[in-house]
Amino acid sequence: MKSAWLLLVALATALSTSARAQGLDFGKIEIATDQIAPNLYMLSGSAGLDPAHEDAAGGRIGVLTGADGILMVDAQYGELADKVLAAIRRISSAPVRFLVNTHIHRDHTGGNAFFAKMGATIFAREELRAGMGNATRTVNGNRVPASEPAAIPVVTYGMGEPVRLHMNGEVVDLIAVRAAHTGGDTMIRFENANAIMIGDYYRNYGYPFIDIANGGSLKGMLEALDATMKIAQADTRLVPGHGTIIKRADLIPYRDMISAVAGKVQQLIAQGKSREDVLAAHVTAPYDAGVPGGLLPAAGAGGTSADRFISEVYQDLKGGK
- Interface residues with Zn ion (CB under 5 A) are 105, 200
Closest approach, Cβ 90 to Zn ion, in A, equals 26
Query: Looking at this protein, which amino acid is placed at residue 123?
Result: F
Give the residue with the Cβ less far from Zn ion, 81 or 283: 81
Give the residue with the Cβ less far from Zn ion, 70 or 139: 139
Give the residue with the Cβ less far from Zn ion, 52 or 120: 52
Closest approach, Cβ 107 to Zn ion, in A, equals 7
CA dist 225 to 43, 155, 208, Å? 24, 25, 12
Closest approach, Cβ 105 to Zn ion, in A, equals 4
Closest approach, Cβ 302 to Zn ion, in A, equals 18
Query: Looking at this protein, which amino acid is placed at residue 210?
Result: I
Give the residue with the Cβ less far from Zn ion, 58 or 114: 58
Give the residue with the Cβ less far from Zn ion, 105 or 129: 105
**Which of 220, 150, 233, 250 has the alpha carbon at shortest distance from 194?**
233
**Which of 225, 261, 219, 223 has the alpha carbon at shortest distance from 246?**
225
Query: Looking at this protein, which amino acid is placed at residue 208?
Result: P
Asked if 297 contacts 287 with a C-beta cutoff of 8 angstroms, the reply is: no
Work out the burial of residue 132: count CB atoms within 10 Å of its CB; fewer than 13 is exposed, 13-18 middle, 19 or more buried.
buried
| Residue 33, SS3 per DSSP | strand
Closest approach, Cβ 228 to Zn ion, in A, equals 16
CA 208/CA 198 separation, integer angstroms:
13
Closest approach, Cβ 5 to Zn ion, in A, equals 35
Q: Give the end-to-end CA distance of the chain in Å, rounded to a whole number.
A: 41
Give the residue with the Cβ less far from Zn ion, 105 or 308: 105
Asked if 41 contacts 63 with a C-beta cutoff of 8 angstroms, the reply is: yes
